Structure 1
Amino acid sequence: MKGLFLVEPVVALYAFSSFLIYPLVQQYVYRRLWQEFTNTTYPISDNSSRCAENSSSSSSNHSSYHEEVQKQASLFSLYTELFSTVPSLVVTLMLVAYSDLGGRKITIIMPLIGSLIYNLAFLTVSYFELNVYLLIGSSLLSSLFGGLGTFLGGCFAYVADLCEDGRQKTLRMAGVDMMIGLLSGVASISSGYFLRAAGFNWPFLTSALCQCLILLYAIFILEETVKKAPTDAILLDGSPEPSAIKQMIYGVYQMFARTSRRCKTVLVLLILVFTSFSFAYVGGISLMTLYELNEPLCWTEILIGYGSALSTTVFLTSFVGVSVFTYCGVPQLLIVLMGILSVMSGMVLLAFAKTTLLMFIVRVPMLLAIMPFPVLRSMLSKIISKSEQGALFALLSFLDSVTNNVSGVVFNSVYAATVARYPGFVFLLSAGLCVIPLFVLGVVGLIGVDVADEVKNPEPVFLGEDDLVQDQKENSPLLS
């Protein structure tokens, strides 16, 4: 059976299965902690908000319960991030860099196995009502197989292998982001109704079944883009094939060593823009569910589902934005600038949103928030030679995972410390941190980013001994 060079179905189903339970994870932890602290059943209402019902409650400790549960739920997320960060980062860097030699599929399959383990652990804890802190251990175990950074790094490297020109690469990467948005939006809307109708167990089981389906596609249908060297392969200079760790270090080193000084400067600055923007955006957006559960909003699971779905439409609108602006010839730096300003404006409004209507409205200014990510990936990919795409996306995934996990630790800590006084402070912090990528982007604009023509890197070729002798006889230009 002939395989397919289509990674989009993998990304789409992965997004659906992940976002089906992503809004439920914080809600599940929140409800379990509520039961532990109050010794009462978590209040469930058919109204748009539970605050009206709770305000008439005879319990004078209601507000203090909310603050304490908010703090503990935030600290739970903090501990989860801390325990799973280091293993995930190491695996991401090694697997995605090794994919230049060993193939891209390993970077896709391994994180899927880890996600399946995580889903099954959640299902087990939920079904048997085990200690909720066991979920931190399951997060640590799943991180040993890589994480979202490993998966996306492998997928974007896979796409880079298939695309030749920069415009096609930009649109294809933006298309991958759009697939994440579309399916995650559908999953987010479904999650609230799924939870209301069937409880937590069935969504976790459905997500696990989706992960199994993705694994089958990735293993048996998805075609490999990297031609692996034979077991007796040697490099053109006669040296043996490097090990996985050496290949990882060598690939990242060569990515910088083979470029001019101007290319190195632009490369470092663009990576700084990518990581600093990711830190600010992910840190703020990750706390929206907790903010919605808190007073005065007190959203139900249905509203949280609609809110999450509306938030994921930014993937679709950002894809449309990238496509239209690229077609119209808008400079890529300007596209990145508009995306950063979109996040800043949305976060500032979010910090002052106290009603359900405003919480939906604040999503509108953020409709272009995802545009910087595919554009920056494409710009970086054009600077690096085709043989070093895995090293590039390994480095990007590694740094992205570092910044996302560190931002989770920082923002959850800040939220736990400020939730009693001003819970919207974390969103002002997110908007303020966006000044850093804006400044660096201005520096890149002064230097200039049209450096692709300066890259004249030779492609490393792996040959068997017989092939090398024959190649020498034919005076191949590979050896000239």
Structure 2
Amino acid sequence: MLLFILLGLSISSPATTQFVYAYVKNHDFANNSTLESNQNRSKFVTQSCNANGTSDDKIQAIASDWSWYITLVKFGIAIPFIMFIGPMVDKIGRKKILLWNLSVLTISFAMKTVAIYFDLNLYYFLIGFAAEGLSGTYNTFHIASLSLLADGTSKGKERTIVMALYDALLGFGIFFSYISSGYLIEYAGFIYPFAISGGIVFFLLILVVITLQESWKNSGEAKTQMSISPGEIFSWCTRSENITSSVNYVFIYLLIFFIYLMPLSASSSIRMIYTLSSPFCWSAEFIGWFSGCNDIVVFVGGLIILKGLQICFKNITDELIVSFGFLSSIASLILYGLSKNNWMLYGAAAAGILQILPIPVIKAMLSRVVHPNKQGALFSNVYLIETVCQICAATLFNNIYHQTVTLYKGFVFFVMSGFPLLALIMMMIFVKCAKTPSKDQTEIVIERPDIQKSNIST
């Protein structure tokens, strides 16, 4: 479990958006002023509201564009790797995939650190994210880790709570990452967050080599056939022997998962740009505390509430828990869009305490209906969806923010709130339709008792 916490410390990279914002302002919109060194660039971020309104809006728009470019490069390159990682996890084992992922991640952080140290153009900064894409990003780590968890847990509520605990521990890591990055940016500049992240990933690599026991058992077929065909990527749901439920069930929940994940994938970076500008004008240190506390409340608070619901209501369904998460996300995004002061932002963060619940619960629901030997392929598809979702969300919401920042900065959050609402409606319709056949059959027997009586008399 320590690995998961350290991973959150290293890969969240909360400094990326703030660095892009600072770079854009320093080189293009700083009234022809140039900072003396990288070490002071964080101070430039905290003074963003000193610019006039028009200039500040342009900075936000361009920073939003660069956040989009980074997402396209990183996750666009990662898509083909993530597609084949799942079947490979089921063929060659979890540990080997982890080793490859962490090795390439270490190199990518080193490249980003060098680009910042020498104050290179942002295009060179993108090269580091391209290398991260070659690793499959952190999604590859999650695919292997969740496969390990599936190997060691039984089906049912145990797997649901363990996967929620996994997200909670990542939340602790992200919490400390945001806090430490905020202080590092504020007092030492942008170099150290990326350098330290690379060091932590390298330490993780050493831990995996030394301590991790391979839970995957190689079969005779896997020994003789190591190639991956495109059909195997989706074999977990296309072959009847690999799935214990309806294929429609799986596809519907994957679609709901995709729709719900859209705003969550882009909200963090947009929210950071949002709070750097007026009327909030937050410093890197303050952003670190807010983002860290928000994530710890969402990840850990959501886990506690999930466990409490399972204890207090023995028959509570996963669908009902997911619905609570959808409603929480809708309320949070609407409040972010309406926020005019710090307290409204705090209220928006509190309203989203349950928004993380649908993610681990839907993953656990899907995991329970898939054959144990196809867990890697399943999670590969899940994180493939997350990767495509990252690209689609950045393309849609960052461009909406760019176009509407001068009209109403919070408009993009209203658009985001429509996605969990749509996911909620789809799930309610699907659950109701799934129960309809059995209900109709029962009613026919009750409403025509005369048929039974006539048969008895004859």
* Shorter-chain TM-score tier: 0.7 to 0.9
One-letter amino acid of the counterpart of residue 126, structure 1: I
Does the C-alpha gap of structure 1 residues 431 and 390 become closer, same or farther in structure 2, counting only changes over 3 Å? same
Task: State the partner residue of 1:29.
Answer: 20
Worse-matched range after superposition: 424-433 or 22-31: 22-31
The answer to whether residue 214 in structure 2 is matched with residue 221 in structure 1 is no
Aligned with 1:401: secondary structure? helix
CA positional deviation for 1:310: 1.9
8 Å Cα contact 1:174-1:374 kept in structure 2: yes
One-letter amino acid of the counterpart of residue 266, structure 2: G
The answer to whether residue 272 in structure 2 is matched with residue 282 in structure 1 is no
Q: What is the correspondence of 1:319-468 to structure 2 with a 5 Å cutoff?
A: 319-328=303-312, 329=314, 330-448=316-434
8 Å Cα contact 1:178-1:316 kept in structure 2: yes
Same amino acid, percent of matched pairs? 24
Aligned with 1:245: secondary structure? coil
CA positional deviation for 1:262: 5.9
Task: State the partner residue of 2:290.
Answer: 307
Does the C-alpha gap of structure 1 residues 125 and 323 become closer, same or farther in structure 2, counting only changes over 3 Å? same
The answer to whether residue 87 in structure 2 is matched with residue 103 in structure 1 is no
Q: Distance in 2 between matches of 1:84 and 1:23?
A: 15
The answer to whether residue 112 in structure 2 is matched with residue 126 in structure 1 is no
Task: State the partner residue of 1:264.
Answer: 247
CA positional deviation for 1:308: 0.8
Q: Distance in 1 between matches of 2:79 and 2:90?
A: 18
8 Å Cα contact 2:42-2:185 kept in structure 1: no
CA positional deviation for 1:126: 1.6
Q: Distance in 1 between matches of 2:56 and 2:73?
A: 26
One-letter amino acid of the counterpart of residue 5, structure 2: A
8 Å Cα contact 1:23-1:304 kept in structure 2: no
Q: What is the correspondence of 1:286-301 to structure 2 with a 5 Å cutoff?
A: 286-301=269-284
- Equivalences, count: 425
Task: State the partner residue of 1:255.
Answer: 237
Aligned with 2:74: secondary structure? helix
Deviations 1:11-54 (A, max 9, x none): 210101123xx2211111111111111222579899x97577x2
8 Å Cα contact 2:82-2:139 kept in structure 1: yes
Aligned with 1:362: secondary structure? helix
Aligned with 1:299: secondary structure? coil
Which structure shows the bigger proportion of residues in helix conformation? Answer: 2
Worse-matched range after superposition: 261-270 or 384-393: 261-270
Task: State the partner residue of 1:14.
Answer: 7
The answer to whether residue 227 in structure 2 is matched with residue 244 in structure 1 is yes
Q: Distance in 2 between matches of 1:447 and 1:221?
A: 48
Aligned with 2:136: secondary structure? coil
CA positional deviation for 1:197: 2.4
Query: 2:80 aligned to 68, 75, 90, which one?
Result: 90
CA positional deviation for 1:152: 1.2
Q: Distance in 2 between matches of 1:86 and 1:127?
A: 26
One-letter amino acid of the counterpart of residue 399, structure 1: I
Q: Distance in 2 between matches of 1:380 and 1:428?
A: 30
Q: Distance in 2 between matches of 1:68 and 1:296?
A: 16
One-letter amino acid of the counterpart of residue 406, structure 1: C
8 Å Cα contact 1:272-1:440 kept in structure 2: no
8 Å Cα contact 2:94-2:147 kept in structure 1: yes
Q: Distance in 1 between matches of 2:153 and 2:15?
A: 37
8 Å Cα contact 1:74-1:412 kept in structure 2: yes
8 Å Cα contact 1:44-1:50 kept in structure 2: no
8 Å Cα contact 2:322-2:357 kept in structure 1: yes
Does the C-alpha gap of structure 1 residues 286 and 441 become closer, same or farther in structure 2, counting only changes over 3 Å? farther
Q: Distance in 2 between matches of 1:332 and 1:219?
A: 37
One-letter amino acid of the counterpart of residue 34, structure 1: K
Normalised TM-score (structure 2): 0.87
Aligned with 2:256: secondary structure? helix
Q: Distance in 1 between matches of 2:71 and 2:395?
A: 7
Deviations 1:147-170 (A, max 9, x none): 122221221111111111311111
Does the C-alpha gap of structure 1 residues 364 and 160 become closer, same or farther in structure 2, counting only changes over 3 Å? same
Task: State the partner residue of 2:150.
Answer: 160
Q: Distance in 1 between matches of 2:104 and 2:294?
A: 26
Does the C-alpha gap of structure 1 residues 360 and 50 become closer, same or farther in structure 2, counting only changes over 3 Å? farther
Aligned with 1:133: secondary structure? helix
CA positional deviation for 1:431: 0.3
Q: What is the correspondence of 1:113-192 to structure 2 with a 5 Å cutoff?
A: 113-192=103-182
8 Å Cα contact 1:273-1:437 kept in structure 2: yes
| Structure 2: runs of 5 or more not aligned | 436-458
Does the C-alpha gap of structure 1 residues 215 and 168 become closer, same or farther in structure 2, counting only changes over 3 Å? same
| Two-structure CA RMSD over aligned residues (Å) | 2.4
Q: Distance in 1 between matches of 2:305 and 2:170?
A: 16
8 Å Cα contact 2:325-2:358 kept in structure 1: yes
Task: State the partner residue of 1:57.
Answer: none
CA positional deviation for 1:86: 2.9
One-letter amino acid of the counterpart of residue 312, structure 1: D
8 Å Cα contact 1:184-1:309 kept in structure 2: yes
8 Å Cα contact 1:178-1:315 kept in structure 2: yes
Deviations 1:86-110 (A, max 9, x none): 3201101111221111111233233
Aligned with 1:164: secondary structure? coil
8 Å Cα contact 1:94-1:394 kept in structure 2: yes
Q: Distance in 2 between matches of 1:15 and 1:254?
A: 29
Query: 1:210 aligned to 197, 200, 204, which one?
Result: 200
Aligned with 2:122: secondary structure? coil
| Structure 1: runs of 5 or more not aligned | 1-7, 55-60, 450-480
One-letter amino acid of the counterpart of residue 250, structure 1: E
Task: State the partner residue of 1:64.
Answer: 54
8 Å Cα contact 2:82-2:136 kept in structure 1: yes
Q: Distance in 2 between matches of 1:106 and 1:291?
A: 40
Aligned with 2:165: secondary structure? helix
8 Å Cα contact 1:95-1:106 kept in structure 2: no
One-letter amino acid of the counterpart of residue 218, structure 1: V
